[in-house]
Structure 1
Amino acid sequence: MNYNDTPRHQGLRKRLVDGLKIKGIRNEKVLEAIGKVPRHLFMESGFINFAYKDQAFPIGAGQTISQPFTVAFQTQLLNIQKNEKVLEVGTGSGYQAAVLVEMGAKVFTIERQRELYLKVQKFLPSIGYSPACFFGDGYKGLPNLAPFDKILVTAGAPSIPQELKLQLKIGGTMVIPVGDKNRQEMYEIVRVAENDFTSKKHGGFVFVPLLKGTVNN
């Protein structure tokens, strides 16, 4: 891996991880992954000095790189195990996908904005992360590659897409923010049987909306 990750960057990541612990992130594997992924490389150059603040920032195409706490919270809810098959809906900057790969997951990630998809498809392997990247409508998921152990949705949906629920393995978990464009509740959905799902709510968040269709810009 040939990229600029200085002792200063590493120190800032350690401070970020310490802050996430204070905010309630307890999963050591999640904290370790966030401590390793060089978030500054995922940012527009003007924001690099802010890369290790616990904030979301713009990445272009009307999207954001999620707040590290949100990434950690969603990932902790998923309880990722090594070699699990994980579908991520909404690749965005690729930061969340990198965290999942760092944890040993087999990651399949789908992005509806062609501009972001093309960028991430080249960028992630250049820094040592190689999830399977797809351009498509996140609402439809990847039925040809289902079922998945875990599904992570990184944008706010008005309701839980049925097509995604049906792509979970029995015993599998989906984490998805659900609500209107101003505020969503974080849901943890578990497929307990062929046609039986349980759901739990885990507090309020604000995400960009999960939109249908694709954008070929």
Structure 2
Amino acid sequence: MHRDEAGWQKAADLMVRRQIEARGIADPRVCAAMRSVPRHVFVPEAVAGAAYEDRPLSIGYGQTISQPYMVARVTELLCLPEGGNVLEVGAGSGYQTAVLAAMGMRVIGLERIEALALVARKRLDSLGLAGEIRTADGRFGWAPGAPYDGIVVSAAAEEVEPAWMEQLSGTGVLVVPLAGPFFGERLLVRRKSGNLHEDEWYDFCRYVPLLEGVEPEDPEASASKAPEDPK
């Protein structure tokens, strides 16, 4: 489903109008990027028919692709100009990385599960997007690409990791779903100003948890666990 150009573009346009703009996302750059990136490419074939629905979908390995609204909301909260240097922690399918790249960001996505990272790289390459995917433990950020104008965490964290703040520029912005003394998680936007920062809380949400370590690809398990290669 949605493989033909007109079909998926119509579905993406409806997704943006009904799920994103209708819920208050007003940044035209965000909406344009969400229209331009084919979401069905970032999910396994078995769930491609639901790719433009406003819900998370399984991508294998106990991970999900976030619902479109949350991707748009996080991108809007990041609020960076074209050319901004961005790190994404927990790249998963590569969809959030792709949306940021489509907005002209210089973006590095970190994914701890090597099999997911490999497929995400292929997806970005197949679409001609310049986002970069690295296999790494996102809790430690990615120092070679720092400083970052923005860091997006696409998994629920229990705390703001020191490495993220260290790798942000002096005026950088961190957007992270943070677990706290409330049900689920809530989006925290932390704006850095030199050695200080200012916090603002936004939407309640639910993400898969941020996990430690790196999970290398297991050739014997990949056939049954890994998501399908993009076509």
Moved more, 120-129 or 92-101: 120-129
Whether 1:196 and 2:201 are equivalent positions in the alignment is no
> Aligned-pair distance for 1:182?
6.3
Q: Tell me if structure 1 keeps the 8 A contact 2:106–2:130.
A: no
Query: 1:163-206 CA distances to partner (integer Å, 9 max, x unpaired)?
Result: 1111110111010000069611100011111x211111002100
CA distance in 1, matches of 2:34, 2:80: 14
Query: 1:105-139 CA distances to partner (integer Å, 9 max, x unpaired)?
Result: 00111110011011112221012113122111000
Q: Tell me if structure 2 keeps the 8 A contact 1:151–1:173.
A: yes
TM-score of the two chains, using structure 2 as the length reference: 0.89
Whether 1:113 and 2:117 are equivalent positions in the alignment is no
State the secondary structure of the residue aligned to 1:16.
helix
* Equivalence for 2:15: 16
Query: 1:55-94 CA distances to partner (integer Å, 9 max, x unpaired)?
Result: 1000011100110000000000001211110001011001
CA change 1:111–1:182 in 2 (3 A) is farther
Moved more, 162-171 or 4-13: 4-13
Structure 1 stretches of at least 4 aligned residues deviating more than 6 Å after TM superposition? none
Q: Tell me if structure 1 keeps the 8 A contact 2:41–2:123.
A: no
Segments of 5+ residues of structure 2 without an aligned counterpart are 218-231
Segments of 5+ residues of structure 1 without an aligned counterpart are none
Q: Tell me if structure 2 keeps the 8 A contact 1:139–1:163.
A: yes
CA change 1:75–1:126 in 2 (3 A) is same
State the secondary structure of the residue aligned to 2:201.
strand
TM-score of the two chains, using structure 1 as the length reference: 0.95
State the secondary structure of the residue aligned to 2:40.
helix
State the secondary structure of the residue aligned to 1:55.
coil
